[in-house]
Structures are given as structure tokens and as C-alpha cells.
Amino acid sequence: MESAVRIRMFRQGLGDSFLLSFPGDAGEVHVLIDFGVLLGTPDAKAKMQKVAGHIVSTTAGKLDVMVATHEHWDHVSGFAQAQALLERDKLEVSESWVAWTEKPDEPLADELRGRRAAAVNRIAAASRQIGASADPVAQKSAARLNAILEFWGGQGAAARATTRTAMDWVKARTSPRPPRYLFPGETFTLPGAKRVRVYVLGPPHDKKWIKKSDPTKSASEVYQLAAASGADFSLFSAIDALEAGEMPGDQPFDEWFRISEKSARGTRFFRDRYDKGPTWRRIENDWLGPAGALALQLDSDTNNTSLVLAFELEDTGEVLLFPADAQVGNWLSWDEIEWSVDPGNGAAVRKVKAGHLLARTVFYKIGHHGSHNATLRENGLELMTDDGLVAMLPLDRPTASKMEWNMPFPSLYERLGERCKGRILDLELGMPKKPEAMSDADWTRFQQRVDVQEDWIDYRIPL
């Protein structure tokens, strides 16, 4: 194990924080992929500061690559909560990697960021309007909207640190050197490491794939058929007018189409159905209800902008796959990519497809904490055919249950267990139990590669 790749999953709660260490010519090469925990996690700031201390200690104050995969709080919160412990006098950072979606003056990136910022602000406005009602159902709806907004670190004047400020800090961390903006189809060797090649699979540079979050009836790509979803952003113009005080709270429509309460009181319909009728018949702020669907779609679209990386150990051909929270469209887009790899020394150029990488995957960071639509079936897990496949699950079940999330999704988790032969290292549960079908010798070899501590779980891949 002296010459081994080490993958460390920190156990801070529901969120992603992985430290990869590769053998290098001048010592280990360290890559940090994400650094966050879900908003509302007890003692979240203290936990992330503790993780920051481990990162500085393990790397001896030198981090080769800092990666922020996408703009969600459970992936980047630590860059805000433990910022002071990661400043230049404590941690040297050679490179920062982010997706092309963060690149300035990139037209599609600018469009996505603008729409995302506008959507978050308007969903927050809808939450405020719905929450102003004393109705218990409205209060529950507002709470659900706020739970989704927590992925961006909260909103309003009290939210001093958001996902945007965290991402901006990562991008500025190596200033004056700019961050590395990664596009799908890129491949390069990891600087300083011994024959490690990086492949960029996502996010797709295509709105069609970014907006495809769930499977469809005609193509059930995952382990459960989910209903198709959509978002009607035209609702936002009404929310803007409401926030600006340009219309009453129960009137989302243009004045031309309104019936004033004064004139309506003279009609039989109003007397029978509204004025003296049961309160449940009243529209009030019910028109804001679609904001929930919009919030969920925005959350999924952001997941689909996840930076997806595969690390190939060139001497063995083994692959480590880190898909962040990529959902259906991100995964499907990989099939359109073909990498050309020049091995040098006059050897022929290799043509590499995503299926080749998946077939050689020996480590899989389970996508989006085990949700139903973040691990593809035929174009994903079923292509991971290596007998040595091991997975890590960054999930805290009590937190997921509190948020009413079905994680890990049962049929997916069952299939993962089959494909990995029980070798799933779980952030919450730690070391799995030995499967009956696995030999004692194989289980011993697996155990020798694993180190479970209170604050992290290590898995080593010998070279």
C-alpha cells in the first residue's frame, strides 16, 4: 500500500467532500473534490472547520487541485464556512477547477447563471408570499420551497455566504492565475502525478441535456420510472409584479382580465361561491403553487451542470469516476464524446468512449447521494463490469428522511450492492458487513484497503 491511490470521504454529514491522493514524482499529489454539507446540519460550520483542519494536515499545507463541481450548498459550503482555515498562509493551492458553466463571457454559461439567479430570487419571493398566509397548508408549501432554497445557502440580507460567494472564492483562490474552466471532451494528465489521466465527461454544453433531469416513459434510463417534469418560467413575471407591489396578492393577472371585488359582489356567483362560501374555494395565493415545481426543476438543472471527472490510472487502466450530482441528461450526453489520447513514444492514438471508461471503473462515487435519477442504468451502472468495483455513498439517512428524500433509492441501492458485491463504503454506516457469497480471502483483501475513522473513510487502490 506504499504505492497506492487513496480516496478519502469525509464524514461531515449529507454532502460531498473527497480528498484524492496520488503517488507523484515529488511526493503525493492531492485533489480536493467539493467541500460541503447540507444547510441545517447540526454544527455544520464546526464540522467543516474540522474537515478543513484535516485537509491542511493531510496535505502538509499543499493542495494541488481544488475542485468545485456545481453551485449547491452541500458541495461548496465549506469554502465559505471554513474559509479562514484555507487561506494562503495555511494552504497553498496550485490549481482550481470548475465547469465551463462558471466561465465569464461564455454565452450559454452567462444565460444559465442569469436564469438561475433570477429563478432563485423569484422562488424566494413566492415563498415569502405563500408563507405570509396563516393557512397550515400554505405554511407547509413555503417550508418546502425554503428547503430547496437551502441548496443555495439561504436568501435575503441575512445570507452573507451563499453558493455564489463560495464559488467565487474558489475561482479566485489561485489569483492571479485564473481557474481552469473544463469542457466535456477534454483530457489531460494530472500535473505531478505518476501517469494519471483526467477525462472531463460533463456538464454537457447543450441546454437540451442540461434540462433533461428525469427519465421518460419511452426511455426509462434509471432504476425507477419518474414522471417527466417541466417549469413554466412565465410565472416569474407575475411574481416580479407582486414583489414590486404592482398588484394585489390574489391577482396574478393583467388588470384587463380582473373582476373587481366591488363589481363581483353584485353577482350571484360571488355571493354563492366566494363571499359566503367555504374558504377552501378561494384562490388567494394558490396561483403561486407552481413555484414548487419550478424550484424542483431549478434544483435538477443545477445538478445537471455538475462537473464530472474520471481519473484513469494509466499503468493499470483502472478508472475512478466522480459524477457529483449529475442527472439523466448529463449522463446521456457522455455518449456523444470521443477522446483522442496520444500515448507518445510513436504509439497509435487511442480512441476512448465513455463506455470504455465505465467498463474499467473500479471506484464509483455514487451520484447525488443515491437518488433515483443520478445513476443511469444501461448507460451507467450496468456498464461498470469490473469485478473489483467499489463505491462510496456520501449520505446521512436521518437528514435525508427529514427532508422527505428517498435516499438511497431502494432498487438502485440493491443493484449497487450486487454490482459491488457488497463493497459500498457508507458515510453514515461505515464498513459494510461481509456478504455471504464473498470468500474470506476476497473480503480480507477488501478490508486491508479500507480505513474507517470517526471523521473519514479511506479506500486505497494499489498500483
Distance between CA atoms of 129 and 408, rounded to whole angstroms?
Answer: 33
Model pLDDT for residues 378-430, shown as the tens digit of each residue: 999 999 999 999 999 999 999 988 887 889 999 999 999 999 999 999 999 99
Going by their DSSP bridges, the two strands 424-426 and 390-393 should be labelled as parallel
What local confidence, expressed as pLDDT, does residue 299 receive? 63
Distance between CA atoms of 164 and 76, rounded to whole angstroms?
Answer: 9
Q: Tell the burial category of 258 from Cβ atoms under 10 Å away from its Cβ (0-12, 13-18, 19+).
A: middle
Residue showing cell 437540451: 208
Going by their DSSP bridges, the two strands 390-393 and 361-365 should be labelled as parallel
Distance between CA atoms of 151 and 298, rounded to whole angstroms?
Answer: 11
Taking Cα atoms as reference points, which of 407, 410, 419, 324 lies closest to residue 381? 419
**Lowest mean pLDDT across 268-277, 331-340, 347-356, 450-459:** 268-277
Q: Is 43 left (phi over 0), alpha (psi -120 to 50) or beta?
A: left
pLDDT band at 280 (very low <50, low <70, confident <90, very high): very low
**Lowest mean pLDDT across 19-33, 39-53, 211-225, 444-458:** 211-225
Has residue 277 got a pLDDT over 70?
no
Distance between CA atoms of 334 and 90, rounded to whole angstroms?
Answer: 38
Q: How far is CA 337 from the centre of its chain?
A: 22
Taking Cα atoms as reference points, which of 383, 377, 419, 412 lies closest to residue 220? 377
pLDDT band at 220 (very low <50, low <70, confident <90, very high): low
Q: Starting at the edge strand that comes first in sequence, how are the strands of the sheet with 4-10 ordered?
A: 180-182, 92-99, 62-67, 29-33, 18-22, 4-10, 456-462, 450-452
What is the grid cell recorded at 47?
A: 464540522
Query: How much is the mean pLDDT over the chain?
Result: 83
Has residue 323 got a pLDDT over 90?
yes
Distance between CA atoms of 122 and 124, rounded to whole angstroms?
Answer: 5
pTM summary value: 0.83
Taking Cα atoms as reference points, which of 402, 409, 408 lies closest to residue 39? 402
What local confidence, expressed as pLDDT, does residue 269 receive? 52
What local confidence, expressed as pLDDT, does residue 139 receive? 73
